[in-house]
Chain A
Amino acid sequence: MNLSVLLWGIPQAMRAVSKIYPEYAARLKERDLVAQFRLRDRPDGRWIQLKGGKIITKKGLHDNPDLTISFKNKEIAESFLTPPLDRLEQIDAAKNFKITLDGPDDLAVWFMSTLARMETVTWKSGTDMGNGVTRYTNGTNGGPIFVYVKDGKIIRTTPMDFDNEDAPSWSITAKGKTFTPPRRTSLAAHGMCQKSMVYSKNRLLYPMKRVDFDPDGNRNIQNRGKSGFERISWEEALDIVEKEIRRAKAVGPGAICVANGSHHQWGNLGHYLSAFNRFWNLIGVTKLVHNPDSWEGWYWGAMHHWGNSLRLGCPEFYGTVEDCLKEAEMIVFWSSDPDASYGFDGTERRAWAKELGIKMVHIDPYLNHTAAHLGGKWISPRPGTDAALAQALCHVWITEGLYDKEFIEKRTTGFDEWKAYILGQSDGTPKTPEWQEGETGVPARDVRALAREWGRKKTYLGAGGWGVGVGGACRGAMGAQWARMMAILGAMQGFGRPGVNFGNLQFGAPLDFNFYFPGYAEGSFSGDLQYSANSANNYQRMPHIVTMSSVKQAIPRIWFPEAIMHGKAMGYLTDVASVQGQFFPFGYPSPGHVPVEMLYKYGSASFGTMVNANRWVQMYQHENLKFVVNQSVWKEGETTYSDIILPACTVFEHWDIGEWYNVGAGYVHHMYSMNNHRVISLQHKCIEPLGESKSDYDIFLAISERLGLGAVYSEGGATELDWCKRVFESSDMAKHMSWRKFLKKGYFVVPPDPELARAPTAHRWFYEGRKKDTPEPYPLPSDYVGSFGEGLQTPSGKFEFVAQTLKRFDDPDRPPLNKYMPTYEDPKREPELAGFPLRLVSPHSRYPFHLMGDDEGSSVRDIREHRVFKDGHYYLVARISREDAEARDIKDDDLIRLWNHRGSVVCAAQVTDRLRPGTVSASTASAEYRPAGEPGKSTDLGGCVNMLNPSKAITKKSHGIRPNATLIQVEKWTGVDTWQPGEVA
């Protein structure tokens, strides 16, 4: 289209839209300006003046425009402006300087955004339910939901029921019965409490400043967490933040450190891997490198036997729901509680397994939620000793010939050495069921019975919460040893054989794994090719500008307090690309970088989720940390350990988009196979942000504009709604549903594959000696020792009973042959533990998601298996065995103190027979930190049980936690706090 026509058309269109849409007319009144479009190679163009909402425009050049948009030449301008707009052309023009913008950054963002709104203002969203009620959709970490809104207020949220337009559901026929999932989504508790979280009394609604923080005078760092806060304006808050960013940048590269939690509210845009990373890449910051904290033992241990680096050492799962239901006769759940935190679609499938008479065995010191619901045999080893039980199973299998000899011969290496170890030929100790009884406390007869059942029946091993890893014993003191044993047990039974595999029906539903919709870890508009999965698909699918930080300094997250307080912290990388990537050390300080002075904390979870968390409390009051911003939705544990608080809004108050449990390429690849349906939801902006809170995107945009980065950050004024559309257009969904329909309906169910086209069963290719045929793009081509697609990601291409990659690295806690080592958390190794007789397991929580949902205003707090209301406060529940409780005269709901030399935490007792005596179980689920005395040095009444857990690495040369076998003492809480750090019993 001709340029002069195009430019003439812009103000005409603005006038037309403002006549029909009052909100657009109002927008035009926000600013007075002269914006000019012009060509760079000749004096030709058009200017548009906005004055009190009126549009004045003229062909030619203006003497004194506020804003100038220059095109290199007429061809480029025409190509850029002609509808339908070609994003790739636009990005190309912007990043190669074919189009440039001159003028104040905030004005540029406003004007470009105003142009874009000519289209978005015409969009209609939500479903009219009558009576003034609109039904919107949204997404949560607990599942997608319908949101009913009336008069600008959320009145209810529900799981989604599908309608007849939605794609049909799959079915599986097994053992003469046909199963089809219900036509709806299921929700976890932390998805069902969202309305109470939105309207929580604990919301941060205004920017705030610590009363005794003076950026130009005394900062009173030692008072973080103690002093109160006062409300300030956004203007003042952003002034301080801007000034401190400029100050820290002048100190040198790495002076600003940013810290996000492991999770965020659901949504591809607002996620830390997106809005947050894009912004900080533009600033340049020291990053906290996360350890694989829900995978530890799989990553540092099991990976060396079979590769699977893409999955942090965990096995693949395709087709396992169908194979398990059709073929398996038994499922062994080992440290496996899938009903704990991820919705209940898998629960439905396990009910089918029960209906089919598939036997269930549960191995866990706690008769966990799944075990209690399903029933079956419960075996309860002492925490941290599971590997001994597993080795005794191997002993029975070897001595009684109950293993897959053909698989061992053709697909594995090192079995003879393993066999000699198990039989005691190499170390003099046969790993018999009687031997293990001394370690685990499990009767030898039960182990023999289990080994025989397992050896004779086609058995699925559900190892970890998802059956294919995650949580539980993998992050126990001997988590690497345990996860390695899980892989070894699978190999001895020939994983991939029909009915023999990994899983507990939580993963592996028969969905379409080829249909593209990006997961949140694909970074949406982050442009970050290094710290997200952006480059896998998203970067090609949704053209956008790359962002990259010039600062290379990184700190291992577990030892962040040590880095700040002692100036040094070394760790090892989490790398999904290769096995040997985990041997790479990194640390702080990094060469040529400066010490961290400023922390920008995103969310407030650390005191509840970080091990030995008193260190974190102390860090916040350390003089080395000169400035702390906390950007959060709720006032939680560490929010007030800051100088400035910026109030973010919930996902219900801004636009976003996402698919249920789609994390993304390389991040729990195809995680949505947990669900019975793939459900993509538009996350409508259901209500306006409460108080003065803003979306993370808008907060970062506001700071960007002060630093001249607004147009870059927002890619020329794009709003979150614009980005939603771009994400939508980048996906396969755009071929199935129009954007306008999606805006109204709000969700889309991806049709499942026809039965013949379903993904092949996990590991069957390996079992049968074929090329890999499951739909995951790993190992990388360079990691196959033979031909592409043949064998596992190990030096031999086979399953290695003796791990060769561990022979290339010297870690005393990870010998190449996985010999049994008693737990580290042991008075024999650490004499100060002698007076602590009980073992604490602190699993992932069931009701909050980690600690999202435990907010002080949340409905979740009334769940008496989570917290108990007593003396005006909700205390976190700690489960204690009847025997241990009686010995201490503890009754249900009594306040008890869990303590050791690291920390002291008051909980409410739940006396139970569901625990092996000697064990205490309390979830890492507290969003509240409430010190009885001096912060970081006294008893916590909030329930941050991670205060008790060690911060030592899971193996000597690694960066992993080991919270699940901690030694503690328990006593009735007297109400008087005398605990001191380092106190021993």
Chain B
Amino acid sequence: MASKWNLIVDVEKCDNCRVCFLAVKDEYIGNDFPGYSAAQPAQGHNWLEIQRKERGRYPLVEARFMPVMCNHCDDAPCMKAAQNGAVRKREDGIVIIDPEKAKGQKQIVEACPYGAISWNEEKQIPQAWTFDAHLLDAGWTRTRAEQACPTGVFRGVKVEDEEMKRISEEEGLEVLQPELGTRPRIWYKNLHLMTHCFVGGSVVMDVDGVEECAAGAEVRVSKDGQEAGRAITDEFGEWKVDRLAPDSGRYEVEVSGKAGRHSLQFELGADSLYLGVMKLA
């Protein structure tokens, strides 16, 4: 079995500094790489984009960022949609949209369920990130995004599929929308930060008539009597329980601390929740 390229993207490490985003533009704007890609337009094409997600509500909120690009799927819908073999799969796993053969084939853009293919209006061709195949073929060991990223978000690995399976299990990696069955070669770490919800709150207590933050209180979140998560409040009385599935319905929260207890119920919708101030009594 041949070793193939995969890219591991760690959502937690992304700072949205946009250096990878710009590095990809730097590589492809103004440069034709015959056999790999035609030049990207000067503006408006983002072959690598960064998705932004805010979780929670003021004042308990997080901002998360996730680089997305062509997934180089092993079962790529764009290949099926292409005519004349305009999209090909290389032995090393990389998917290439041939800039010559793909001319006029707008259906290739529409075929991608991830929206990762851009339509070049001027040249009338579909275009996507090529995994920097022209550089890898010339001896580069990393993609531009990985070379430029200051926070270590990206890790390109060229291994046999069996080995990649082992890595993904060991590190808890996921792919985007696995239910589509496209078998992407871009793997995500800490993907729950984009796909799942947290719930949190601020626990307070009364000390001699003065409201104080309740540190060290135990928080238990449960659903239908089953524990869904636990937390201990910090010095500001704040707590968070993460990895709850969106729209997963009704939960109960029980808080207990030195100053007493507090419990409530909440309904989890699509977004993370800040339950506000919870007073122990």
Contacts and interface: CB of A to CB of B under 8 A. Distances in A.
B26 A444 contact: no
A913 B61 contact: yes
A882 B58 contact: yes
A914 B150 contact: no
B16 interface: yes
Interface in B23-79: 23, 25-27, 29-31, 42-44, 46, 52, 54, 56-59, 61-63
Contact of B52 (A156, A159, A452, A865): A865
Contacts of B212: 445, 448-449
Interface string A503-545: 0000000000000000000000000000000000000000000
A864 B63 CA distance: 15
B211 interface: yes
Contacts of B22: 189, 192-193, 859-860, 863
Interface in A199-235: 199, 201
B256 interface: no
Contacts of B27: 156
A860 B59 CA distance: 30
Contact of B31 (A156, A158, A339): A156
Contacts of A449: 212-213, 215, 235-237
Given A187-B148, A865-B16, A157 B62 contact: no
Contact of B15 (A369, A847, A917): A369
B3 interface: no
Given A192-B22, A367-B61, A446-B213, A158 B144 contact: yes
A375 interface: yes
Given A344-B17, A377-B236, A367 B30 contact: no
Interface in A26-66: none
B193 to A, nearest CB: 11
B42 A857 contact: yes
A706 interface: no
Given A159-B148, A192-B22, A453 B43 contact: no
A847 B18 contact: yes
Which of A131, A201, A865, A883 has the most CB atoms of chain B within a 10 A radius of its CB? A865
Given A199-B30, A372-B63, A446-B236, A915 B42 contact: no
A751 to B, nearest CB: 23
Contacts, number: 147
A863 B204 CA distance: 41
B213 A348 contact: no
A623 interface: no
A501 interface: no
A977 interface: no
Contacts of B62: 372, 375
A188 B26 CA distance: 14
B213 A448 contact: yes
A540 B56 CA distance: 59
A865 B144 CA distance: 22
B151 interface: yes
B19 A881 contact: no
Nearest to B15: A373
A703 B234 CA distance: 66
Contacts of A193: 22, 25-26
Nearest to B54: A913
A147 to B, nearest CB: 11
A861 interface: yes
B195 interface: no
Contacts of A915: 58
A380 interface: yes
Contact of B58 (A199, A369, A375, A917): A917
A862 interface: yes
Interface in A902-925: 912-917
A377 B234 contact: yes
Contact of A158 (B58, B148, B151): B148
A344 B150 contact: yes
Given A159-B148, A445-B211, A859 B61 contact: no
A195 interface: yes
Contacts of B25: 193, 196, 859, 862
Contact of A339 (B15, B44, B148): B15
Contact of A347 (B31, B44, B151, B213): B151
A339 B15 CA distance: 8
Contact of B59 (A159, A189, A380, A847): A380
A93 to B, nearest CB: 48
B90 to A, nearest CB: 21
A862 B43 contact: yes
Contacts of A913: 54, 56-58, 61
Contacts of A465: none
Interface string B78-118: 00000000000000000000000000000000000000000
A449 B63 CA distance: 25
A859 B29 contact: yes
A368 to B, nearest CB: 10
Nearest to A129: B138
A334 to B, nearest CB: 16
B147 interface: yes
B21 interface: yes
Interface in A430-459: 443-446, 448-450, 452-453
Nearest to B51: A864
Contacts of A860: 18, 22
Interface in B203-217: 204, 210-213, 215
Contact of A445 (B15, B138, B204, B234): B204
A158 B15 contact: no
Contact of A157 (B26, B44, B204, B213): B26
A847 B17 CA distance: 8
B23 to A, nearest CB: 6
B248 to A, nearest CB: 21
A869 interface: yes
A13 interface: no
Which of B16, B17, B52, B235 has the most CB atoms of chain A within a 10 A radius of its CB? B17
A351 interface: yes
Contact of B17 (A189, A351, A380): A189
A367 B63 contact: yes
B130 to A, nearest CB: 14
A377 B238 contact: yes
A89 interface: no
A547 B211 CA distance: 66
Nearest to B19: A192
Interface in A168-214: 186-189, 192-193, 195-196, 199, 201
Given A161-B147, A348-B150, A881-B58, A192 B23 contact: yes
Contacts of A156: 26-27, 31, 144
A369 B16 CA distance: 8
Contacts of A343: 150
Nearest to B277: A443
Nearest to B46: A862
Given A449-B213, A914-B54, A347 B61 contact: no
A520 B44 CA distance: 36
Interface string A840-872: 000000110000000001011111110001000
For the complex of A and B, 5 pairs with smallest distance between CB atoms? A344-B150, A186-B150, A192-B22, A372-B63, A449-B213
25 contacts: A158-B26, A158-B144, A189-B18, A189-B19, A195-B26, A195-B29, A196-B25, A196-B29, A343-B150, A344-B151, A367-B61, A367-B63, A377-B238, A380-B59, A443-B211, A445-B237, A846-B17, A857-B43, A862-B46, A863-B18, A865-B16, A881-B58, A914-B54, A914-B58, A916-B58
Interface of B: 15-19, 21-23, 25-27, 29-31, 42-44, 46, 52, 54, 56-59, 61-63, 138, 144, 147-148, 150-151, 204, 210-213, 215, 234-238
Given A158-B26, A445-B211, 12 more contacts: A158-B147, A348-B151, A369-B15, A369-B16, A378-B61, A445-B212, A449-B215, A449-B235, A846-B17, A912-B54, A914-B58, A917-B58
